[in-house]
């Protein structure tokens, strides 16, 4: 029996975000180089993307490369970028078959031209798909995103396009890289680390957090279902009392 049968399809998180962590440790455990972990991590990406789409999750956001990850050894960064290009080329079929739209958030200009171009191509090819939006966070940092938003809003204030009194949550939302996405409902982090690492700080304000010790390359759909079942057992009060909700 699959845990899938225990999921209440009517109460799925509308937006799941995942910090895919533990590729390096997974490889090390097997006596292999970190790169081997990243390669196997791409399989877990495909499984999870298909698993979410099949369930009916509308938005899946994957943290693939952070602004801080630029500080890793040059060879690892290069390998990750190459892997990204080959995965995009390879997975276009999976996206089309499953009617999934690709989206990207982050400081995309910082990515190598080849990655940038491949990404733009796949985003364009899948733009009319509407079963699920898959967002890749690439060269993404929440602080960078907030700096970017503040800069843009300041320019508009300076040019009298908006007045400071008009600055509210919705206006800030509109200036984030995630402008077209709803808030995160469920945030999953693999590998046992219990931290956010500069991911979607604004958007997870009321997300339910779920940490698992499984390393990312070992993350299966059963692990995904386990996280969703755990999420569905929680009471999301949004500041209210339990009595107010019922």
Instruction: Choose the binding region for ligand IPE from 61-69, 116-124, 153-161, 179-187 (rule: CB under 6 A).
Output: 61-69
- Shortest separation between residue 119's beta carbon and ligand IPE, angstroms: 16
Give the C-alpha separation, 194 to 68, whole Å: 17
> Residue 21 catalytic?
yes
Instruction: Decide if 103 contacts 161 (C-beta within 8 A).
Output: no
Reference 9, options 49, 60, 58, 44; nearest CA is 58
Query: Quick one: 150 or 209, whose CB is closer to Mg ion?
Result: 209
Helical segments of the chain, H only: 23-29, 34-55, 74-97, 113-125, 142-158, 169-174, 221-232, 242-245
H or E, element range at 19: strand 15-19
Instruction: Choose the binding region for ligand IPE from 5-13, 42-50, 60-68, 105-113 (rule: CB under 6 A).
Output: 60-68
- Shortest separation between residue 232's beta carbon and ligand IPE, angstroms: 25
Catalytic residue among 69, 129, 148, 173: 69
Instruction: Choose the binding region for Mg ion from 8-16, 20-28, 83-91, 180-188 (rule: CB under 5 A).
Output: 20-28
Q: Which residues between 11 and 30 bind ligand IPE (CB under 6 A)?
A: 19-25
| Residue 87 sits in the site that holds ligand IPE (CB under 6 A) | no
Rg over alpha carbons for the chain, rounded to the nearest Å, is 19
Active site residues: 21, 69
């Amino acid at each position: 029996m699959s845990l899938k049968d225990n999921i209440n399809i009517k109460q799925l998180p509308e937006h799941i975000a995942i910090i895919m962590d533990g590729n390096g440790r997974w490889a090390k455990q097997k006596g292999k180089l970190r790169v081997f972990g990243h390669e196997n991590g791409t399989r877990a990406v495909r499984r999870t993307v298909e698993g979410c789409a099949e369930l009916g999750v509308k938005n899946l956001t994957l943290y693939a490369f952070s602004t801080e990850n630029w500080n890793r050894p040059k060879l690892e960064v290069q390998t990750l970028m190459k892997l990204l290009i080959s995965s995009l080329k390879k997975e276009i079929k999976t996206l089309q078959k499953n009617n999934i739209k690709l989206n990207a958030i982050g400081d995309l200009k910082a990515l190598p031209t080849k990655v940038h171009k491949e990404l733009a191509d796949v985003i364009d090819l899948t733009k009319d798909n509407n079963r699920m939006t898959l967002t890749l966070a690439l060269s993404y940092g929440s602080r960078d995103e907030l700096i970017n938003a503040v800069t843009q809003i300041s320019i508009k204030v300076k040019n009298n396009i908006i007045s400071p009194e008009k600055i509210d949550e919705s206006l800030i939302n509109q200036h984030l890289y995630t402008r077209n996405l709803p808030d995160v409902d469920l945030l999953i982090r693999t590998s046992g680390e219990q931290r956010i690492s500069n991911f979607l700080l604004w958007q997870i304000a009321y997300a339910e957090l779920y940490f698992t010790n499984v390393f990312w390359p070992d993350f299966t759909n059963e692990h995904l279902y386990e996280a969703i079942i755990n999420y569905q057992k929680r009471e999301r009060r949004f500041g209210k009392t339990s009595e107010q909700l019922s």
